């Protein structure tokens, strides 16, 4: 399903409210909302926001745990013409404050449960000055972060009339705001609704945080056809057995999740003993799927389509591959081809299309409008001449891959310091910046480990502190998903012959202290595993 004309995300909801007013649109937190009820709440809240000074093009943060009230807040801000930024209540207040400042958010929407945390984040963003607030209906509150005369300048069209902001890890320690238009998000949502065969009778299991781009399918693809979005309780993600049971109890027909959650359900969740009987389509994205476990899932799901989705936050999901039922672990897994309207090209170091390995470039209607830094937009895309001779505005993904003659793409790794952990993109320089900002630390290096500790993030810090003390300090500035698996205090860091930190030695060595680094005898201990 595609569209030739830009579609507003809130218009998808309004359309289904007209055609399917009595169908269930949303379930979660013990609540059930029909499309007519949800549309009425959204329209009412949007009017209240406009009456309180929200103007089209303003940037609004939604700071609340995932619940029906949070979904109403997102839609209401979109209906009022705002650019909406979901925020994670679990992030440290200082990091949330950086997101607020970087994106130029003028207003925060929150709920009773998250109001105190929203005030703390807003105060940090305002250099300690408390924010004015007020109440809306449906348990919602607003906090004014910027006065009307302090609002940043208008955004470029089409985001000047509203859109979406998602945040990614940035190398400077400041999360980057990814600026998306209604069309950027709606194009993927409409395509996915068609490709996955969504109908008004379907029930989509929404397990990811609203800050994760997987949820654009959960919300907007469902609204496009009048399906029901079922919000999974956040606590369940740490208990794979409960997730597997929840899929059955809630009669989930469509489910999109990161591979680590699928891994947990198979290895610890008992899904092999009781596959969800109502599941019609499953999909994964955000990180690599363990080949042996993927092969077992294909046998377990017995004909249920299982999709591999790929795409950085800057493009949403932009390629797809329906994994064949007879795929086996000894075969290389492709990320597939571009979704309808999206063009993929692989360029060599000279910026020319290549049949060998190169950087993956993405062009088409899902490509974002730019980054927000200090409230101001910047567009990192460039014009690329694809092998068909057409010049297109393209985003350089940072992913290395190769493309076959029939358009299938295979990933080969990254060209920078970014890694994926449980579906989240993490820039190691972001973590390193947080370590270097600690007053106890003189210098530091953060690496992704290989060898016996492959997949872990380790920080090596020249510091007058123990690992436990450094970790405690990092918990105040980094979200749990970004915390290093180890923080190793050292007196020196290994260097190359040119005097630079030898990151390869730090990454490759399986020992806590690589050759050339001298440990501080502090009795460091391995931190507890972070729940998925």
pLDDT score of 422 more than 50: yes
Residues 173 and 81 in one domain: yes
How far is the C-alpha of 171 from the C-alpha of 167, rounded, in Å? 13
Quickly state the pLDDT bin for 423 (edges 50, 70, 90).
Answer: low
- Say if residue 527 is exposed, middle or buried (CB neighbours under 10 Å; 0-12, 13-18, 19+): middle
2: helix, strand or coil = coil
348: helix, strand or coil = coil
Q: What is the pLDDT of residue 433?
A: 82
User: Considering 385, 416, 447, which residue would you say is the last residue of a domain?
Assistant: 416
CATH number for the domain that contains residue 459? 3.30.300.30
Residues 352 and 469 in one domain: no
Residues 455 and 412 in one domain: no
Instruction: Establish if 471 belongs to a structural domain.
Output: yes
Peptide bond into 158 cis (omega under 30): yes
Peptide bond into 58 cis (omega under 30): no
Instruction: Establish if 492 belongs to a structural domain.
Output: yes
CATH number for the domain that contains residue 354? 2.30.38.10
Domain enclosing residue 466, as ranges:
419-519
| Highest-scoring range by mean pLDDT, 129-138, 283-292, 378-387 | 378-387
Look up the pTM and report it.
0.84
Helices 9-19 and 68-79 pack at an angle, to 10 degrees, of 110
How far is the C-alpha of 119 from the C-alpha of 128, rounded, in Å? 10
Residues 61 and 140 in one domain: yes
User: Considering 130, 155, 181, which residue would you say is the last residue of a domain?
Assistant: 181
Q: Name the percent of the chain lying above pLDDT 70.
A: 92
In tens, the pLDDT along 208-261 reads 999 989 899 999 999 999 999 999 998 898 888 899 999 999 999 999 998 889
In tens, the pLDDT along 173-195 reads 678 899 999 999 999 999 999 99
Residues 402 and 508 in one domain: no
Nearest Cα neighbor of 16 from 301, 256, 225, 317 is: 225
Quickly state the pLDDT bin for 169 (edges 50, 70, 90).
Answer: confident
Average of per-residue pLDDT across 261-267: 91
Instruction: Establish if 94 belongs to a structural domain.
Output: yes
Residues 453 and 398 in one domain: no
Q: Do residues 380 and 341 lie in contact, with contact meaning Cβ atoms separated by under 8 Å? A: no
Residues 407 and 425 in one domain: no
Residues 405 and 476 in one domain: no
Low-confidence winner among 279-293, 428-442, 459-473 (lowest mean pLDDT): 428-442
Instruction: Establish if 162 belongs to a structural domain.
Output: yes
In tens, the pLDDT along 12-59 reads 999 999 999 999 999 999 999 999 999 999 999 999 999 998 999 999
Greater pLDDT, 102 or 499: 102
Q: What is the pLDDT of residue 2?
A: 40
Split into its structural domains, the chain has a count of 3
User: Considering 181, 214, 236, which residue would you say is the last residue of a domain?
Assistant: 181
The torsion defined by the Cα of 300, 301, 306 and 308, in degrees rounded to 10, comes to -20
Q: Hey, what are 181's tokens?
A: 């238009």
Q: What is the mean pLDDT of the chain?
A: 89
């Amino acid at each position: 399903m595609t569209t030739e004309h830009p579609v507003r995300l809130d218009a998808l909801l309004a359309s289904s409210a007209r055609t399917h007013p009595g169908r269930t649109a949303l379930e979660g937190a013990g609540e059930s909302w029909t499309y007519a009820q949800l549309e009425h709440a959204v329209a009412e809240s949007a009017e209240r926001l406009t009456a309180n000074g929200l103007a089209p093009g303003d940037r609004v943060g939604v700071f609340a745990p995932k619940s029906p009230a949070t979904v109403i807040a997102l839609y209401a801000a979109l209906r009022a013409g705002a650019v909406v930024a979901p925020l994670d209540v679990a992030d440290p207040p200082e990091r949330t404050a950086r997101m607020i400042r970087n994106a130029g958010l003028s207003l925060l929407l929150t709920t009773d449960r998250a109001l105190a945390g929203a005030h703390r984040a807003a105060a940090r963003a305002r250099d300690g000055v408390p924010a004015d607030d007020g109440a809306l209906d449906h348990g919602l509150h607003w906090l004014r972060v910027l006065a009307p005369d302090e609002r940043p300048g208008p955004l470029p069209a089409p985001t000047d009339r509203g859109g979406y902001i998602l945040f990614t890890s940035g190398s400077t320690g400041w999360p980057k705001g990814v600026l998306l238009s209604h069309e950027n998000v709606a194009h993927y949502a409409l395509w996915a609704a068609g490709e996955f065969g969504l109908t008004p009778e379907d029930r989509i299991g929404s397990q990811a945080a609203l800050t994760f781009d997987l949820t654009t399918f959960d919300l907007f693809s469902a609204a496009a056809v009048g399906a029901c979005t079922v919000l999974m309780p956040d606590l369940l993600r740490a208990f794979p057995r409960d997730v597997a049971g929840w899929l059955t109890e809630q009669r989930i027909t469509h489910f999109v999740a990161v591979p680590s959650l699928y891994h947990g359900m198979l290895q610890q969740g008992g899904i092999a003993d009781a596959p969800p009987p109502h599941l019609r389509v499953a999909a994964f994205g955000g990180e690599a799927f363990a080949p042996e476990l993927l092969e077992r899932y294909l046998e377990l799901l017995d004909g249920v389509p299982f999709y591999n989705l790929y795409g950085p936050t800057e493009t949403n999901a932009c390629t797809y591959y329906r994994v064949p039922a007879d795929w086996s672990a000894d075969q290389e897994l492709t990320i597939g081809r571009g979704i309808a309207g999206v063009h993929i090209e692989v360029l060599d170091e000279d910026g020319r299309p290549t049949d060998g390995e190169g950087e993956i470039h993405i062009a088409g209607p899902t490509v974002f409008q730019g980054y927000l830094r200090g409230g101001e937009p910047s567009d990192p895309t460039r014009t690329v001449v694809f092998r068909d001779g057409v010049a297109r505005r393209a985003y350089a993904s940072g992913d290395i891959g190769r493309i076959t003659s029939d358009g299938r793409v295979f990933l080969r790794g990254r060209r920078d310091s970014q890694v994926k952990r449980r579906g989240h993109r993490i820039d190691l320089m972001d973590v390193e910046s947080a370590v270097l900002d600690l007053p106890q630390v003189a210098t530091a290096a953060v690496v992704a480990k290989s060898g016996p500790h492959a997949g872990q993030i380790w920080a090596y810090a020249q510091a007058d502190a123990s690992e436990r003390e450094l970790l405690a300090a990092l918990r105040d500035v980094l979200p749990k998903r970004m915390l290093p698996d180890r923080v190793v205090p050292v007196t020196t860091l290994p260097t190359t012959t040119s005097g630079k930190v030898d990151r390869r030695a730090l990454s490759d060595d399986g020992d806590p202290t690589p050759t050339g680094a001298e440990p501080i005898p502090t009795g460091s201990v391995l931190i507890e595993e972070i729940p998925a």
